[in-house]
Structure 1
Amino acid sequence: MTNLLVELFVEELPPKALKKLGESFAASITEHLHLNDFLEAESATTSFASPRRLGVHISKVRAISEPKPRPPETLMPEAVGLKEGTPTPALLKRLQKAGYHEGVDVGSFFSEGRLFVAEEGGKRVIKHDPGQAAGSHLSIALQGAIDLALHRLPIPKVMTYQLADGWTDVKFVRPAHRLIALHGETVIGVKALGLEASNMTEGHRFESPVQAFAIRSADSYAQQLFEQGAVIASFAERRAEISRQLKGAADALSLKPIDDEALLDEVTALVERPNVLTCAFEAEFLAVPQECLILTMKANQKYFPLLDSHGKLTRHFLVVSNIAPADASAVTQGNERVVRPRLADAKFFFDQDRKKKLADRLPGLAKVVYHGKLGSQGERAERVTAIAHAIVNQLSMATLPYTVDADDEFKVLDSKVKQAAQLAKCDLLTDMVGEFPELQGIMGGYYARHEGLRDGVAIAIEDHYKPRFAGDALPRNHTGTVVALADKLETLVGLFGIGQLPTGDKDPFALRRHALGIIRILVEKNLPLDLPAMIEAALPPFGELIENPQATREALLSFFADRLAVSLRDQGYSAQEVDAVLALAPTRLGDVPKRLEAVRAFAALAEAASLAAANKRVGNILKKVEGELPTEVKAELLKESAEQALAAAIAEVQPQADTLFEQHDYTGSLKALAALKAPVDAFFDDVMVNAEDAALRANRLALLGRLHAAMNRVADLSRLA
């Protein structure tokens, strides 16, 4: 079986898109050939993607596809096609349409089984077995595969260019210059983007000794490109080589390159044969916050800053060059010369920003539009401050104790929160954040420390955006925690209040991320805060901006429930477990993990399945009760021994389960219910709930209501049935 190679040689592709372009190109060609039966079960695909090429190597590709059996086709009714066993002119004419020559021996067709009579729809018909369809040629399928692959490419932006004839326009991500299609050593006659396939390609723009050379076979492609073209064609191999060189260069200095997968992918897409070089900048720039220096080196220059063992930035950095001269000093010095103005700009911004206090910038927020319907950043800062104050009040009055720092009485905490909330957005008006929006919050923290503000306030300003993404750290102190909650809640309430809800995969204001951030803070810090009460407290600061507070409140609670369910399932909890806990709509999210663990432990009990089924049955019975459910269980009306036993069991188990529940021992509370299995089973075996006697019926319903309440404090156990 012969292997296949396809390569499209183009001008430099957009680096941030290259990895996806290469993967898509290879996957589409493989998929099309597979669907058309040109591949074996053992066929393997290797993708190639470099700055100037997209390619794919597929092993065990057939030259002609496998013949396919075709289903028998109905020709005509037997009465029309045969008269006393003799073929009629109508049948002979129909066979000619099927491709048979005139004068064909119909009798032999019947004896060979190519023609036969069968029952169909209650009638006898003549059917024709056409045999197998002949396989098609690889060139036809490959042309379709290439066309499909080019159509499916996730191209960020299409450009239009002219072919060599000067008339024909082509639209593609970049001008294409060569096309290779080799089946073994044979060129397949396909076309794409105005190019005809050949076996010619080009190597490295600067390092290749020849401009163009022939690829001998599909299997020699990668080796020839490396040896003759000075190109590592595989994206994955090139990435691994860069990682190896980065580590080696950093180890030589006992340092560590910054960990950034996206930057590594982008640099891999910029070079064809990487050469890592070590450079350095002047030590005076280290006085600038390292986040600024790291960001400008990564974003603007694609450099890899080097950190010491404590995670501190050093003056050394690594460059991934696309050339490997014998004397690399000119390349090194050039990169050092290029980065110097960038770092000087960062130092200038930092020095200038520190000349003005954050508080002096506060009035300027009134001129910064936050949202057309929600006002300015200044108005937003006032709302965040009000919401943060309400959260502090809720913490101070929480049923569960919330311990603040030793020197942080709630009045002190409230003062810190107010200051941090008011100043949190002021760094938006600084030169540094204007140049690097990614540093908002971080720079505010630096400027707050420079001014001598309390460290807790500075940390809160820095942390109030956290968590910024999945897996990000949470705010480090109480002040930052409160301001982060208030900031995210203000965003959610405001945008939900004006109808800017996320739809499908569109979430331009990152509201899902904000909701997950609040959930993580409430759950992981186990805060004694009630989510509905937080939303309620966040509504008044908006005044008349929110036309329908009730609808906003309900929409937000539903949104949080959906986000929480998704988050919990992602953490490994089953849909049943999550459904059982969230069915009770717990308001204190810090309780949810304990409830889930309790449900999981309960489900492992031998009694769990029976109790869950009984609980579901009880729920269905109570739903059918018309009017108000009876609540009083009268001992004198407990006639049957089974209902007496159940009442006694509930009287014994419920106080124990309730005590454990109040102590937040949810696992113990649910396990205590296991003692109810036998009396519950006996009750449903021996007792008629809907008795004819109205008093007996009401008493038994009251007993079931008490059972239902006892069993469903931690979770809705019927969801486990």
Structure 2
Amino acid sequence: MSQKDFLVELGTEELPPKALKKLSNAFTQGIVDRLKSAQLSFDSFEAFAAPRRLALLIKGLETAQPDQQMERRGPAVKAAFDAEGKATKAAEGFARSNGVTVDQLETLETDKGAWLVYRAVQQGSETTQLLPEIISQSLNELPIPKRMRWGARRTEFVRPVHWLVMLMGEEVVDCEILGLKSGNQTRGHRFHANQPLTINQPADYQNLLREQGKVMALFEERRNLIKKQVTDVATGLGGEAVIDVDLLDEVTALNEWPVALSGRFDDEFLEVPAEALISSMKEHQKYFHVVSNEGNLLPHFITISNIESLQPEHVVSGNERVIRPRLADAKFFFDTDKKTSLDARRETLKPIIFQAQLGSLFNKTDRIAKLAGFIAKQEGGQEQLAVRAGELCKSDLTSEMVLEFPELQGIMGQYYGANDGEPEEVCLALNEQYMPRFAGDELPSNLTGCAVAIADKIDTITGIFGINQPPSGNKDPFALRRATLGVLRIIVEKKLDLDLRDLINQSIEGYKSQGVQLPAEESSANKKGLTETVLDFMLERFRSWYQDEQIPVEVFLSVKALKPSRPFDFDQRVKAVNSFSQMAEAETLSAANKRVSNILAKAGDLVIPDSVDPALMTEAAEKSLASALADSKEKVAPILEQRQYSVAMESLAPLKDSVDRFFDEVLVNAEDEQVRLNRYALLKQLRSLFLHVADISLL
């Protein structure tokens, strides 16, 4: 089977920069998957993505599908011929459907009899015949939320298309896609080399574009070059570039021939919080900022130009002229905002609705303040600071700066709080209330910050569940799953002894005190009640947490079965059971606990005593188990009190031998009811001892 390289390139107007990588990956995957489905093998592939092009090079692609042996089974021989040996209608119909005569059919002998079969070789299609449909389908299935039309055509795509390259070896694959006739001509850089470039063979594509077209078609190559250039330019300025990964991807998608240049802004703007300047440079202008060795913002920026200018100073000067009014706006917002205190801004929160049924943002800050104070008091923190931080936590949302740069919420609150003379811990909490903002993000640095962050999230979770709008499937408009993971992370990693049930109840009381009706709380249909519903939802988030830590799901379930509502305590139990599950004795003891659980379940309505009567013990094995349980209980009680669950589980492991012997030598369901109940009581004590940590029968 012969092989040739294949190249497809679609030339477009500038593609959406934030979607370029996604479009390229989907285009590549769509083509590769369809080639495999068509049984067309190839050696390797390389994807190209630049502002004005999506391309894919397939190396060593088979020029035709392999021939396939085809076999169709028809009627049984008995039904195919009559007593005189003539073909029946069934045989003739089968032969006709395959385009042959009956005498051209073959016979297949099987254990269940003989059958007529039609065998043939189906010749594989030429690859060039299949490629147009493969490319068309891949383009049609690209993840494009909204397609556009242009000119008088009915064709639709994410951006207007201008040229199409379809090259198999040295031959053009003759077809029309998106209204474009295929060819072997690409185009170079819009400014440096805006003319047709003829591709003689697919392997020439990348070098031809780079050398004659001033286009670096490979996304990763441009990305690495930009990163190196930005780093080098920053070093030349005596600083260090802060390279945001998303911004790096975006500027890579904006430029075909990237050149890093540095510009400067006036020192007076450094009086504005660095975060505001950075947001302005990054979001509006796509600039990288530069910091000193101490991490302070320097009055420089680095921009990526899409041309190699003979007079780069003009490009720099133009960028400096553009950035000045942007930074001037930021300075104006900051100076204006400082004239109104966060406390005074609270009034402006009253008309802003948090959620139609749950009241305003002002109401929310009242609830957060009370709950944060409760949390701080529980943990021995400064209740008044937590209350104050809760009251002010949303005030910066109405500031000019946050209205212009929403991503600065909390950050500006910290600056404005400091300007108002609020305690430092309160100011920090105004920013830290949103932590962790994403997976792996840092946590609040102090207890006040933790209290406000937890209170804010619990208030939202409880309220949204209270109005019967829990997350469903992929829909989670209030990000309750993320909020829950944030609460769990703070409590576990900060080792806080907080009880989720208490926090949810306090939150419900906060809503009630404002006269807010929570339908889920009042509903008789919700038999579990709102508190237990929310608690179940929150504890269930631990499942994916432990999966990420490679802890078996049954370990999580064994702890969840007891529903411990303190996340730090829950985590300690899981870690203890996970360690225990790897001990040699674990399998036997978990099996024994399961057996005990089944025995006690079958006891039905029988009242099983809490204590064991030694006088009713006749077997040495049950006396031995009773003695071992008594010793273990005495030894483990103080350990459990200190919540040293790992030590407790290790201490219970030696019970294995006594438990094994008991089940080997003792008839649990004795005929004498008193003896039977006494043995049940003994097993109840065994199970109870483990249930102080987890239900290990689920392991």
TM-score, normalized by length of structure 2? 0.95
Distance in 2 between residues matched to 1:582 and 1:236, nearest whole Å? 45
Alignment-derived partner of residue 698 in structure 2: 719
Alignment-derived partner of residue 410 in structure 1: none
Alignment-derived partner of residue 142 in structure 2: 153
Tell me the SS of whatever aligns to 1:331: helix
Q: Residue 484 of structure 1 is aligned with which of 440, 450, 453?
A: 453
Tell me the SS of whatever aligns to 1:545: coil
Distance in 1 between residues matched to 2:94 and 2:566, nearest whole Å? 77
Question: 2:67 matched to 1:67?
Answer: yes
Tell me the SS of whatever aligns to 1:481: helix
Q: Which runs of 5+ in 1 are unaligned?
A: 397-403, 405-412
Alignment-derived partner of residue 172 in structure 1: 157
Q: Residue 574 of structure 2 is aligned with which of 584, 591, 596?
A: 596
Equivalent pair of 2:107/2:116 in contact (CA under 8 Å): yes
Q: Residue 106 of structure 2 is aligned with which of 115, 119, 134?
A: 115
CA distances 1:523-556 after superposition (whole Å, capped 9, x unpaired): 0011011111111111111114213326321221
Alignment-derived partner of residue 55 in structure 1: 55
Distance in 1 between residues matched to 2:239 and 2:678, nearest whole Å? 77
TM superposition shift of 1:445: 0.6
RMSD over equivalenced CA pairs, Å: 1.9
Q: After superposing the two structures, state which structure 1 stretch, 571-580 or 68-77, moved more.
A: 68-77
> Structure 1 vs Structure 2: percent identity of aligned residues?
41
Tell me the SS of whatever aligns to 1:32: helix
Distance in 2 between residues matched to 1:535 and 1:94, nearest whole Å? 72
Equivalent pair of 1:307/1:314 in contact (CA under 8 Å): yes
Tell me the SS of whatever aligns to 1:66: coil
CA separation of 1:390/1:80 partners in 2, compared to 1, >3 Å: closer, same or farther? same
Question: 2:444 matched to 1:475?
Answer: yes
Equivalent pair of 2:17/2:51 in contact (CA under 8 Å): yes
Alignment of 1:487-526 (within 5 A): 487-526=456-495
Alignment-derived partner of residue 35 in structure 2: 33
Equivalent pair of 1:13/1:174 in contact (CA under 8 Å): yes
Alignment-derived partner of residue 294 in structure 1: 278
TM superposition shift of 1:302: 0.4
Alignment-derived partner of residue 532 in structure 2: 554
CA distances 1:665-704 after superposition (whole Å, capped 9, x unpaired): 2111101112211110011111111111110111011100
CA distances 1:110-144 after superposition (whole Å, capped 9, x unpaired): xxxx6114358x564322222x3110121332122
TM superposition shift of 1:86: 6.9
CA distances 1:404-430 after superposition (whole Å, capped 9, x unpaired): 4xxxxxxxx111111111111111111
Distance in 2 between residues matched to 1:79 and 1:515, nearest whole Å? 69
Residue identity opposite 1:176 in structure 2: V
Q: Residue 118 of structure 2 is aligned with which of 91, 116, 128?
A: 128
Distance in 2 between residues matched to 1:115 and 1:211, nearest whole Å? 62
Alignment of 1:183-222 (within 5 A): 183-208=168-193, 210-222=194-206
Q: After superposing the two structures, state which structure 1 stretch, 279-288 or 63-72, moved more.
A: 63-72
CA separation of 1:63/1:698 partners in 2, compared to 1, >3 Å: closer, same or farther? same
Distance in 2 between residues matched to 1:81 and 1:45, nearest whole Å? 55
Alignment-derived partner of residue 371 in structure 1: 355
Distance in 2 between residues matched to 1:134 and 1:206, nearest whole Å? 49
Alignment-derived partner of residue 525 in structure 2: none
Q: Which runs of 5+ in 2 are unaligned?
A: 522-527
TM superposition shift of 1:587: 1.7
TM superposition shift of 1:259: 2.9
Tell me the SS of whatever aligns to 2:159: coil
Distance in 2 between residues matched to 1:90 and 1:705, nearest whole Å? 72
TM superposition shift of 1:256: 1.8
Distance in 2 between residues matched to 1:710 and 1:457, nearest whole Å? 45
TM superposition shift of 1:158: 1.0
Alignment-derived partner of residue 325 in structure 2: 341
Alignment-derived partner of residue 693 in structure 1: 672
TM-score, normalized by length of structure 1? 0.92
Distance in 2 between residues matched to 1:312 and 1:234, nearest whole Å? 35
Distance in 1 between residues matched to 2:288 and 2:630, nearest whole Å? 69
TM superposition shift of 1:62: 1.2
Distance in 1 between residues matched to 2:322 and 2:651, nearest whole Å? 71
Equivalent pair of 2:74/2:116 in contact (CA under 8 Å): yes
Alignment-derived partner of residue 653 in structure 2: 674
CA distances 1:306-340 after superposition (whole Å, capped 9, x unpaired): 11222221111110110011220000111111111
Alignment-derived partner of residue 328 in structure 1: 312
CA separation of 1:633/1:193 partners in 2, compared to 1, >3 Å: closer, same or farther? same
Distance in 2 between residues matched to 1:583 and 1:425, nearest whole Å? 38
TM superposition shift of 1:95: 3.6
TM superposition shift of 1:511: 0.9
TM superposition shift of 1:395: 2.9
Alignment-derived partner of residue 399 in structure 1: none
Alignment-derived partner of residue 5 in structure 1: 7
Q: How many residues align?
A: 687
Alignment of 1:545-584 (within 5 A): 545-549=517-521, 551-584=529-562
CA distances 1:150-193 after superposition (whole Å, capped 9, x unpaired): 1211113211123xxx4x31111111111111111111123211
CA distances 1:569-597 after superposition (whole Å, capped 9, x unpaired): 11232222222222222222112333233
Alignment-derived partner of residue 401 in structure 1: none
Alignment-derived partner of residue 597 in structure 2: 619
Tell me the SS of whatever aligns to 1:65: coil
TM superposition shift of 1:484: 1.1
CA distances 1:282-311 after superposition (whole Å, capped 9, x unpaired): 111011000000011100000000112222
